[in-house]
Structure 1
Amino acid sequence: MFLCNSARDLQSFHNDVNKLLSDIDRPINDDELSDGDEEDLLAELHDIAGEIENEKQNEHIETKPVQSISNSNTLSVLETRLDMYTKAVQTAKTNGDTAKARRVDRQLKLIQELLQSARTGAPINENDIPPALFVSTPSSSQPTIISKEVPVRAPSPPPATNSLSIDNKSIISQPPAPVVTTSNNTDEAVERLKSLALQAKAAGDMAKAKEYLIQMKNLQKGTTAAPVPAPLPPPSSAHIETSDNIPEDDNSSALIVPLKAPEPRTVMEALQQRHEELVKRQQEAISQGESSKARRMDRLVKQYKEAIDATQKGRPYDYSELADLPGFAPIPIQQSKPSQVSSSTIGTSATASVKVSQSTTSVRPSQVQQQRTTVPTTSIPQVESKASTNTRKDQQLQTLRLKQEQHVKLALKAKQQGDIDAAKKHLIASKEIEKMIESGLPIDMKLVSELSNEDVEIIHDDELAEELLESDRDTIYRRLQDDLLRQMQLCARNQQIYAQMEGSNNIQQANEFKILEQRCAHDLERLRKCFQNGSKPPLFHYEKKQMNIILVNNDLTDQDLEVNVLRGINLRVPSGYSATSFETYVIIEFPYPPETPQTARTRYGIGSTIAEYSDSLHKFHIKRTDGKFKRLMSRKELKLSIFYRVGFLRSDRQLGIASIKLAPLEQTSTIHETIDIFENDHKKKAEGKLEVKIRIKEALGSIKSSEVSLQRWLVIDHFEENSNNPKLSTSNTTESNNNNRPNNQQSVGYQSIKVLKYEADLLEQQIEQLEDHLTKEQIDQLRIKHQALVKQSDDIVASLRHGGKQVIQEHVRSLEQLMEHYNKESDEYRQRNEIKKADMFLHKKDLVAQEIETFTTNQLELNSSRNTLLCLSQYSVCLTAGCLSEKNKWRENLMNLYARISLCRTINRSLDYFACLSRIRKYGLGQNDSLSSHLNRLLTLVGNLCDFVYYPAECIAWLCEANVFGINRSSRPLRLVSLICWLSNIVISIIKNTIQLIKYKKLLKAERNKDGNSKEIRSPMVPLSEMYKCMLTLLNNFCFFLLCIHWLAIPKFLWSGKLPVFMVGLCGTLATICNIVKMAL
């Protein structure tokens, strides 16, 4: 419908509009429009208002007929929509937009279902019908566009009050307002401009109404070639006003939310406000059972927690990555003046402009300056870059302030120590940083004066240091030694890993850790010397050192993958089961090796809300160098099948399946996740989650995950050498020197021969294992230590040989004190849960106990050479006789010689009875043997009882055979008793040595599983010689076990009395040779 009531010709209006478009760069002057022109336009506006009112009345009258018509035409509407959506699907597939094709296809299926229901006569709700789509015809230069038909709405004119004022400078810097182009449908555009003109008239803005009328006339004449500029609210000469009274459904509106918290003054205060709000929302979501919302809130809480930690530690952080919360003021990341516009305001304006461009709302051109019809694409990135620049400046400012504070602290410390020059230097550096901050200019951080120890903070008034200072000397030395050893292990591990990684930065990190390790090793060596010399504890302090630590699980080996199923959360409870008594378990399936995957099963967990699976730690064997393993880890998943107990004599049923990807182990050594449970192979999600933790020793890939952590670092300031107590030697003067030392140091002055030999064997094995991985200097140091241990052992042996009985007794007393020292050390390490060190001291105590037993009571060991010679002669003769035939005359002579040597051995053993009694009396019931286990103590008591009976029974049996108690006195019962006691002792020895051998093998396996390429010097828990001794003892006992059963001569009992002479000689000779080899080790 065209308007023809204007006073002037429409062509003149057309010329005026063209003139306005050509002079669009200059402001529009209202004086250019004549008064008559204005009167005609106002009259025309009144006519339009009357027509619209008449149309509203007509619509009100005809409401019911239209509704009835629409109800009757539902079938035709559905058929139209069916055709429309079918074409839209084809068009989307033609353009390759699969996502849009799937969305439209779902709506198409809904239309088909509604159409089928409508044909059967069922009522159809019009709200269920998908909206109409506009499918444009494809052209050669532009692809087909599918868009929903949305009615165009214009915002109501903003009032003059309740507005947000913005400076003129910000207006100029803002991007041009978006432009709304006219649609091909002219009638819709005319109606839209009518409504805009009426709204402007109702608001009293006649100038704005005139502009809408001019645009409407151009559309009616069809002379518009340029897009219609989008109107903006009319700003004044100094401000732009943003209305709050915009309808809620308008996309271009931006609501002003009241603040929930006071405006923060600092970045930390803003972060804490938002963090507390997110924690509160997370708890509310958990209490209401909204798991999805709780997870979202949890992620946001973690992000803000990271930002708070970074801010507290002074590290730079990009606050623009944090999610904004409604009702909270922007984070004050820059110190802006009141006259300037903050970056958050600019960001809000940019966001609002983007929303306006996405909608189809017309926006009025500004009265300050007529803007262009095209929107620059670089306007928004400019705002983002400016905000990021401000963020970097704020982070730089924070770093400078932290450095300034550290300079002030160091200046005060230097002044207290009397170092005035250093204090002046730090004050000058602090003043320079203050000038840099006040200037506000960009700063090159390389020009800022560096601190001597920038990543170190001294811990003052430390509770641990105060506790150590109040402790005794032994506790202080022990704690300092443990801390230095821990620091050496940390440095050695990280130095090795960084050295294997590529990059100059990694090499630098490896060198730094190497230097720290050397310093700690030097301090440890001096600490041990001071302890041995009886000096006072050194002066020390603790520091907080910031270090890049590689994440490694040292309690695992390279061949271990540990899976720990912690708990099930909110599990689905089948019908007929109680949630409190619901029992479930998990079957773990690890896909390596692919031929026979490894499986494990957890124990039962009770409950459905939180089902804890206790002792569910399972280790799977892996091979890091295997190509199949690497491929499987990147592609496969760890499968977890959840089953629940059904009842008695009924098989368990599957509750669900969960899986966790193993690919993250390429970069990290630990995966700790809560995963969803599915009903069957990820097809349908079930209720509940499963919390799982997976660990390996270190990441599989070349890039290792690391973290920056604050380490508590021990620094020894000064060692106090004690010249009055020289280093103690192991000569005959040890007793006099030991009197001048504290009682707790006697264990260091006196050493056990067996312990020294044990430590020498350990060093020898270390030299062999680490020869290719250590430097020549380190190898030489190990060899010097090995020679020192051997020399110390030889000196003790020489002093015992020439010192007589008194020196031996003194040595035994010192060994008893040394055994008590090892016992205390073992208990302390066991309390700290350091089992390996505790076992090492237990083994040393065993060696000392054996040495004490050798020097005190076991005279059989001192005369072992004579007994071994007789035993070897006896069984060699028997073996030779067994090789001869029974008719040979030498066989009988050799057997007679065998009997005579056996009699000599019996007499020799009878002399050892008194030594056996002394040993049994001293051991008693084993109350002093606190080191051994209950089983070992019981076996020792039974063995002592058998020895107590064996020696007199054998001696009396021999006297009976010699007719000392009369002729025909039978020795068979006593001989049988002595053989049974001997057999019992053999069995006890086999059990003891078997347990000890299993223990040694476990320790040796654990040592071999450690990284052999590590430069850290490790001490194996047991040398190979000890394992060989156990094996030889077992072979010796086995041979004598065969002979003992043979000599029992019980009819029909195993091989009793059935062994030939040759087998008797062979077993005896082999047992004797084993004993000789064991003595040589």
Structure 2
Amino acid sequence: SAPKAHSPAGQPTKDILLERQKEYRMAALKAKQAGDIDQAKMHIKASKGFDAAVEALEKGQPVDMSSIPPPLSQVTHPAPQKAITSPSAPDSGSGPAQPQTVLEALEQRMAKYKEAFTQAKASGDERKARMHDRIAKQYQAAIRAHKADRPINFDELPAPPGRFFCSQKEDDLGEAAAAATAPHKNLCQMGLNLVIFSSAQQQLEFLEGRKKQYMKAALQAKQKNDLEHAKTLLRAAKSLDPMIEAARSGKTVDVPSPPGDEDKDFILVHHSDVQISEKAEEVYTQLTKLLKEQYEKCVTYSKQFTHMGNVAETTKFENMAEQCKKSLEILKLAQNRGLQPPKHYFEERTYRTVRIFPELSSTDMVVFIVRGMNLPAPSGVATNDLDAYVKFDFPYPSTDQPQKHKTSVIKNTNNPGYNQSFKLNINRNHRGFRRVIQSKGLKLEVLHKGGFLRSDKPIGTALLKLEKLETESEVREIVELMDGRKATGGRLEVRVRLREPLGGQDHQTVTERWLVLEEPQVNDLLNVFIWKY
């Protein structure tokens, strides 16, 4: 008989199965985004093959290995099909011909943005010109990738406003709409059907019909006692209401795919087909910058608590990092689809952190010589001829055996930037080391490098007190450069860092303004179907 799930021989662990299942689901999502619906369905069905195996492992039962799909890396499948929504249909007798291939669609869009760049340049609108030029270059890169048969992420390409809409089926569009898609058969065969509405009324009727489809599908799911699926379909139907209202006011909206495919579980969110203004571009840039900073901060705190073994705090900051990552993805998707920035606000968040430098061991102390500022030149040397370097002796393990280091020479300036670090060996619990920290500190000397047959000339000395290392993991100071007891006017920026303070953990209470996107409003803004797992 097959070995038990806990046996190491031949049986995978639950974590392995869940990770492999996740790979299939992500592959399905990527295939769908690339327009390869058949490949996406295949991956979804394969992902469902893991459910029984996971359930068996949870019950301690043997797993039928033949029922488990192999790792995705061992599965060979054809290259994903490409799909792109082409620009809007030109009026008869004007504009470019309808694209018959993805390459033609890309080239037409690039030409459109190049034309917009030229117009903005001629009108003196430099900001708009730069924006259109940047987008044109994006399309240029996409064209090169397409010709080289490399994959293209079409979601990354901004779409000019148009009158096309995507649908999964042609047979529910009517003869007029189906006829309008006829020039685009090559694109349709790549997984994208295009519907061109001749009037706002036709668009409104189509949306209302799509809502009825969802309501009918929800009723059928309820009759089959599949209440969760019925609720999902009902929510999708209700989420069409803002789109219908927008269509009634004459606005262009995207058409959702019809319900009915059991392999897909759609969440509907709304999209307004308008280009982003220059002001909105600035808002997007600032929001992205702030969210990235928040994400990196959360990751840093999470790693610090991980090294301390604090699971609760690690999990808290991991969740905060994940939320920032999700907000970044929403922001990127909204910007790529030409939407106005989602509503957002700032809230005050107070949390406790513990400062630790996990890259250091308990026997490390690092001295950073950052820079010198307004260093005085010794007699006979011009300020712009100053060739200064810094040296220090750390009197540990003893005064007779200090650890000595010096920076490189920075020539021809009295404001040298060193940015050099030196690692010292210490024993945190040694009485002699604690005495140096508490009473002696770090003595530094700045000198001008002499030339041939000329000795180095002293510029001044500085003392960095280190007693703060008892309660803090880093001391960072700008210290005065002295000539005996006389201040020279020059200064040194120096940092000294331990893994953690000598007296225990470096607890800090931080209060910050935290950027938050309004989730409900985001869900109303974006008009795209995504798979929910």
TM-score class normalised by the smaller sequence: 0.3 to 0.5
Larger radius of gyration: 1
Say which structure, 1 or 2, has more relative contact order (CA 8 Å, 6+ apart).
Answer: 2
Q: State TM-score, norm by structure 2.
A: 0.35
**Of Structure 1 and Structure 2, which has the larger fraction of its residues in strand?**
2
